[in-house]
Amino acid sequence: MLRLDRGRWKRLSAVPLVAAIVAVLVVPGPSQSTASPPAGLECLTAGDNAFELTATGGYAAMPDGNTIYMWSYAAGGGAFQLPGPTLCVTSGVKVTVVLHNSLPEPTSITFPGQVQVLADGQPAQPETDAAGTLTSLTTTAAANTGSVTYTFTAGPPGTYLYQSGTDAQKQVQMGLYGALVVRPAGHPERENDRADSAFDRDREYLYLLGEIDPDLHLAVERKRAYDFTRYKARYFTINGRSMPDTIAPNHADWLPAQPYGALIHIRPYDPVGNPKPALIRYLNAGSVSYPFHPHGSDEQLIARDGRPAQGPGGQDLSYSNFLIDVAPGQTVDTLMIWKDAEHWDPQGNPIPVPLPSLQDQIVGPGPETWFAENPYLGGEPGELPPGVVQNNQCGEYYHVAHSHALEQATNYGASFGGMMTLIRIDPPAGCPA
């Protein structure tokens, strides 16, 4: 009972994955301002912490071939992208965000978690129409050509959403959302001010979770009315993409408007060689909770909504999870490591049950597999049935991470899609290109 767009899977499996792998191997020291990592969080930074965002319309591609009209925030005078760029600032700095509006109706940005936000120098204010009805949660930029300048002092370190405050039910669903990352002053290697929030700066990931009701988007595109009582999300996204597009590299050329991937790429924990955890920042821009389940490792929940999990005396109140539940509008930050608990090795420590012969197993199902037909980390790939595309490069392990509200792990109801991505674990020695 599988529906797949084979074209998409082929495009994905050919050049891009290999490119991603090669690129990730040569990744980066600590991320610089405009660096464009092939996987992981990509910051937009500005020397004076002043950002220009343009609310504009464009199209997002879904893996089943559907194309969805969206609204989102473009960086500067750049092209439409979903979601908006990830703004990275340091706690305590003065932040300026100029919003230009090219949409046919007023729009705005709210910064939940930030205090004393000014709009054009005045405290940002809710807006009402002549009848006194609330029209916007915050100060707007006028339709088509308006602009507004928001300023605030970046609050406590952590992960925050920014999103439309105007006709928010519709505009946020249309895609007007992005992430704001506030780093602790003097400690960019930490999620917050606590020493135990330190992470590997080359292993920082953002999961901006959302959903799409294509009927609403079609109504907006065709300037028709939409009845929100009929709202029904059909696509579930991470960083504006659905599986399998989530595992394609950042800036994959066949996803021109969806620049951010969600593949986690790590190596096994090693107290000397690889001691630091990865950091995953979860944000929920949708209308329901997304119960996110990473396989193969639990994660330590260290912060929520820009507040560290700690007691009044600074006690560590973080906790271990294999299910990270993110409610609408919330953010959750976790640290994650993957440990090779058993160190299976075909010579010295063989797996105590056999791998069945090919005719006694199902590979796939579907046109692709991420399993090397060799269960050993770093092992040589085994034989595959004809017609199955092998994505395994060097005996690396893959685990899936997905919403466990399983109807969300589909593309319009079709399996192995939606709010889902992969965790790739390379052998300790790395992966030769």
Please report, as residue ranges, which positions from 305 to 324 form the binding site for other proteins (by CB under 8 A). Answer: 309, 311, 315-323
| Closest of 433, 415, 390 to residue 13, by C-alpha | 390
In the list 135, 390, 404, 428, the residue contacting other proteins (rule: CB under 8 A) is 404
**Which residue type sits at 372?**
A
Cα–Cα distances in angstroms (integers) from residue 39 to residues 46, 157, 351, in the given order: 21, 23, 32
| Closest of 84, 66, 41, 79 to residue 172, by C-alpha | 84
Residue 19 lies near other proteins (rule: CB under 8 A): no
Residue 371 lies near other proteins (rule: CB under 8 A): yes
**For the chain, what's the residue count?**
433
**Which residue type sits at 389?**
V
In the list 89, 206, 409, 419, the residue contacting other proteins (rule: CB under 8 A) is 409
Instruction: Count CB-CB contacts under 10 A for residue 386.
Output: 5
Specify which residues 368 forms β-bridges with.
389
Residue 383 lies near other proteins (rule: CB under 8 A): no
In the list 407, 429, 430, 433, the residue contacting other proteins (rule: CB under 8 A) is 407
Q: How far is the CB of 203 from other proteins (least distance, A)?
A: 12
Q: Which residues of 129-158 are buried (b: 16+ CB within 10 A; e: fewer)?
A: eeeeeeebbbbbbeeeebbbbbbbebbbbb
Residue 349 lies near other proteins (rule: CB under 8 A): yes
In the list 375, 381, 395, 428, the residue contacting other proteins (rule: CB under 8 A) is 375
Sign of CA dihedral 212, 215, 219, 224: negative
In the list 19, 98, 118, 406, the residue contacting other proteins (rule: CB under 8 A) is 406
Q: For residues 193 and 298, which CB has a smaller minimum distance to other proteins in the complex?
A: 298
Residue 186 lies near other proteins (rule: CB under 8 A): no
- Give yes or no for a contact between 265 and 426, defined as CB atoms under 8 angstroms apart: yes
In the list 28, 344, 378, 384, the residue contacting other proteins (rule: CB under 8 A) is 344
Q: How far is the CB of 12 from other proteins (least distance, A)?
A: 13
Helices (H), 197-268: 214-221
Residue 429 lies near other proteins (rule: CB under 8 A): no
Q: How far is the CB of 195 from other proteins (least distance, A)?
A: 5
In the list 39, 60, 75, 233, the residue contacting other proteins (rule: CB under 8 A) is 233
Please report, as residue ranges, which positions from 272 to 301 form the binding site for other proteins (by CB under 8 A). Answer: 275-277, 289, 291, 293, 295-298, 300
257 vs 278: CA distance, rounded Å: 27
Q: How far is the CB of 210 from other proteins (least distance, A)?
A: 14
Residue 177 lies near other proteins (rule: CB under 8 A): no
Residue 419 lies near other proteins (rule: CB under 8 A): no
